[in-house]
Amino acid sequence: MRIINIGPDPSLAYRPNLETGKAKDKEDYRNFESGSLIDRVFNTYSLMHTNQTVEFVNQKHTEWNGCNHTRMGMMDAIMSLDQLVDESDPDVDFPNSFHAFQTAEGIRQEHPDKEWFQLVGLIHDVGKIMALWDEPQWAVVGDTFPVGCKFQNSIVFRDNTFLKNPDENNPKYNTEFGIYEPNCGLDNVLMSWGHDEYLYRVMKFNKCPIPEEGLYMIRFHSFYPWHSHGDYMHLCNDKDLKMLPWVKEFNKFDLYTKTTDLPDVNNLKVYYQSLIDKYCPGVLQW
């Protein structure tokens, strides 16, 4: 039996009524115990939790942070996700590009005055494009967590998927603070490598004028142990705590707009291309 230790998810309180006039039960989202996709999900996390080490993460920063893989416009990158189904996601089994527009439209409905927020909703998962460039999904998708310190219990499948991770039994890395200082700030913490960190690096490399709140959403939206379970606060500084409510606000749209009611992407493209032209214009380096 696969047992996980997770506390109540505060973001469940934000669940908007997006399907039929009836809110979903909370077990309908992020159910890591059962469901038709659970074997695929568990396998992805098992590989992730075995292989995401300090050494591995540093290697990936070296490989990807130079943004020298290709040149591509943002809308082309978004639409390329038609080729990708996220193997870590227990909620959906359709191409990731639909989720981009679902998230953006949910934000647009509640925050019509915040174009940058809508844009972040559209692009937040574009870093998953690494999976189309031969990066294994366990190094691209799924929840993120710090490496270099103790793996906290709120990480999904924590009990039985880190047994073969060499950092788990390394006394340099397996204490509460590990290689970090108290309240060092998340900017100084090595997160498990994935699409969050990669897209954040792409945005910074291309000097995209997205506000700091939006950059935090991009960089930490998959960091569920932090924004939904309150773990790793001992590593946070004042800036992280100031940005946390923005990441929580983003989470309700990222997670709870995942329905089988797929948007008409062609009708939405013109509007969202105008936001891309404002915040991520032209051809970007990836």
238 is in an annotated binding site: no
Residue 43, domain member (yes or no): no
Q: Which of 99-103, 154-158, 185-189 has the lowest mean pLDDT?
A: 99-103
Residue at 4 is within a domain? no
| Average pLDDT of span 250-278 | 83
Q: List C-alpha distances in Å: 98 to 55, 85, 89.
A: 34, 10, 14
| DSSP notation for 86-117 | -TT-SS--S-HHHHHHHHHHHHHHH-TT-HHH
Helix, coil or strand: residue 52: coil
Residue 49 marked as a ligand binder = no
Give me the numbers of helices (H) and strands (E) for the chain, helices first please: 11, 2
Alpha-carbon distance of 74 to 120, in angstroms, equals: 12
What is the residue-averaged pLDDT of the chain?
86
Model pLDDT, residue 57: 98
Yes or no: say if 123 and 218 are a contact pair by the CB < 8 Å rule. Answer: yes
Does the structure show a pLDDT above 90 at 119? yes
Q: Is 134 annotated as a binding residue?
A: no
Domain total in the chain: 1
CATH label of the domain that carries residue 138: 1.10.3210
Q: Bin 183: left if φ > 0, else alpha if -120 < ψ < 50, else beta.
A: left
pLDDT of residue 6 exceeding 50, the answer is no
Residue type, 117: F
Task: Tell me the pTM.
Answer: 0.85
User: To which residue do tokens 């490496």 refer?
Assistant: 147
Is residue 113 part of an annotated ligand binding site? Answer: no
Output the six-digit token pair for 24.
């979903």
pLDDT score of 263 = 67
pLDDT in tens, 157-196: 999 999 999 999 999 999 999 999 999 999 999 999 999 9
pLDDT at 251 over 60: yes
Nearest in space to 235 (alpha carbons), one of 157, 167, 148, 168: 148
pLDDT above 80: residue 51: yes
> Is 87 labelled a binding residue?
yes
Using CA atoms of 225, 229, 234, 238 in order, give the dihedral in degrees to the nearest 10: 100
Distance CA 69, CA 235 (A): 32
Residue 136 has pLDDT above 90, yes or no: yes
Consult the annotation and say whether 143 binds a ligand. Answer: yes
Sign of CA dihedral 229, 231, 233, 239: negative
Candidate from 100-109, 213-222, 243-252, 262-271 with smallest mean pLDDT: 262-271
Let me know if residue 160 belongs to a domain: yes
Q: Is 69 annotated as a binding residue?
A: no
Which pLDDT band holds residue 11 (cuts at 50, 70, 90)? very low
Query: Which residue range forms the structural domain that includes residue 163?
Result: 54-285
Residues 95 and 132 sit within 8 Å (Cβ to Cβ)? no
CA atoms within 13 A on the CB side of 166: 5
The arithmetic mean of pLDDT across residues 37-63, rounded, is 94
Whether 38 has a pLDDT exceeding 90, the answer reads no
Provide the 10 A C-beta neighbour count for residue 207: 6
Rounded CA separation 94/101 (Å):
13
Q: How far apart are CA 97 and CA 101, in angstroms?
A: 7
Residue 2, annotated as binding a ligand: no
Q: Which residue has the tokens 């996601």?
A: 89
Cβ atoms of residues 37 and 90 within 8 Å:
yes
Asked if residue 44 is part of any domain, the answer here is: no
The token pair at 36 is 């038709």
Average pLDDT over residues 122-126: 96
pLDDT band at 83 (very low <50, low <70, confident <90, very high): confident
Is 36 marked within a binding site? Answer: no
Degrees (nearest 5) of the Cα angle 22, 25, 28? 115
Reported as a single tens digit per residue, the pLDDT across 72-81 is 999 999 999 8
Does the annotation place 227 within a ligand binding site?
Answer: no
Residue range 13-19: mean pLDDT, rounded:
33
222 labeled part of a ligand binding site: yes
**Lowest mean pLDDT: which of 47-51, 97-101, 175-179, 224-228?**
97-101
- Least confident span in 36-50, 84-98, 140-154: 84-98
